[in-house]
Amino acid sequence: MDADEFDYVIVGGGSAGCLLANRLSADPAKRVCLLEAGTDDRWIWIDIPVGYLYCIANPRTDWMYRTAAEPGLNGRDIHYARGRGLGGCSLINAMIYMRGQKRDYDEWAALTGDDGWSWDKVLPVFKQHEDSHRGAGHFHGAGGELRVEEQRLSWKILDRFARAAEQAGIPRTEDFNTGNNAGSGRFEVTQRTGVRWHAGKAFLRPVRKRPNLVVRDYSTAQRLVFDGRRCIGVEVRNGRHDGPATWLARARGEVILAAGAVGSPQLLQLSGVGAPGLLAAHQIPVVHALDGVGANLQDHLQLRMAFKVRGIRTLNTMANSLWGKAWMGLEYAFRRRGPLTMAPSQLGVFWHSSPEHATPNIEYHVQPLSLDKFGDPLHRFPAFTASVCNLRPTSRGHVRIVSADPGAKPEIRCNYLSTAEDRKVAADALRLTRRIVSMPALQPYAPEEFLPGAALTSDDDLARAAGDIGTTIFHPVGTCRMGRSAEAGAVVDAQLRVFGLEGLRVADASVMPTITSGNTNAPTTMIAERAAAIVRATPRAAPSA
């Protein structure tokens, strides 16, 4: 097998991998390799924000995973989008810039024993790569690579929903990213003047010509290679027509997994790192027994309530009109404004599903549209969707290989709504949505609930309805979680080193011990920023106890 040698080999060119490649190659004395199964795609629907409708469930930009059949979703399996290409999930995500709550990071610090993961310590890390439209200040950074802007459109129906929330006792907020995101407000997005600003553009393209940075696209990691307990490289399948079919990316220093909450545990398991019983079932020799690999999967389940309205504009009617389509196209072409700049959600609301929750435990994504599911056409009648998710689910799932074949998709089992607490939060959240919609601000438009249906009122009815209308909001985390010891189920320590091995770290959403209270892309980028600083401060990988 042909081999090439580097100081650092990064597996996965998503949000974390692109930032890591930028930061680690800033030292000209270090040779860095970034491996990505996709490529630097310049497809127009990646750049146009509303193009997520074409990118999700498209093998050009999506790994096309599906979950196992979920009992909590009444036996349904669902599409599980994960971004493929340089930029990863930031190529296809909602573009929402959301850090989460102060309590999330203080909890990480307590669980890992490392104050470096506390809110006060990670806030400067967020700011380091931020270029906020707000300018520099206590909570925001300016001049970084990741542009964050206000959305470039408005909808009266969303303004009315925010007013209704206020009438229901939920105040307005001007900034969701101060550590306290309670209230309603407009989401800020990772865009530059109406164009998606993904991690590939932000972090990788500006530095791709560095002589010490090698970016290998169409290159899929097959397995990690070990010398005893030390990871010495990555076996790579070459998807191009030139060069050897497989080659070894050898690491003098470290291999850093940034393949995400599905890809990173999958690669560890294929490489003999994981639960011995699972590895034995697929005839994979055990390099290192680590039961936590692939466990602790957490995700935000969104419950998509939809309401017909009358006498007010929504995207449904515009998108189903030839004149409406023409107007949207012209507005975007000449002004970079209007519905084609839309993130999937424009209005956010964070609140308590019931009084016992000390901080907001649910998040709304409110949309001036309705459809049966992503990829389906918009309904032909005017409507809006109030999608609500439990920010701190207690259900836990897993990611597990089903074969020793690296090309086989792993089993993804989220176990949504598998705990009584999660079912209660779901029922309470649906009731709160109805309360908001019943407020005077929305009554002139005669809102009529058609999903899941106003006749469903009991706890049992609402729990079953949640299973019928629930779907992922694409926030999987936790499958290589940080912690104090492997015996407690953790996979990496607070420095992101894999327990019991040398020369191997994980730096992506999979290391989150608990899911953040909001969208997960910004926290993932922060993890990569902090990981890069840790790696740069460690000339050679030290073994983790």
Hey, how many other C-beta atoms are within 10 angstroms of the C-beta on 242?
5
State the pairing for strand pair 301-308/383-390.
antiparallel
Hey, how many other C-beta atoms are within 10 angstroms of the C-beta on 334?
9
Question: How far is the CA of 13 from the CAs of 54, 207, 262, 409, 529, in angstroms?
Answer: 21, 14, 14, 19, 14
- Alpha-carbon distance 463 to 312, whole Å? 31
Task: Report helix, strand or coil for 469.
Answer: helix
Burial of 135 (0-12, 13-18, 19+ CB in 10 A): exposed
Is 475 annotated as catalytic? yes
Contacts of 100 (CB under 8 A, 6+ apart): 181, 516, 517, 518, 523
Our CA angle for 87, 411, 465, nearest 5°, is 90
**Number of helices and strands in the chain (H, E):** 14, 25
- Give 91-114 as a 3 state SS string: HCCCCECCCCCHHHHHHHHHHHCC
- Alpha-carbon distance 504 to 492, whole Å? 10
Query: Radius of gyration of the chain from Cα atoms?
Result: 23
Residue type, 203: F
Q: Name the active-site residue from 129, 288, 300, 475.
A: 475
Asked if residues 108 and 86 have their Cβ atoms less than 8 Å apart, the reply is: no
- Alpha-carbon distance 106 to 352, whole Å? 20
Task: Return the active site residues.
Answer: 475
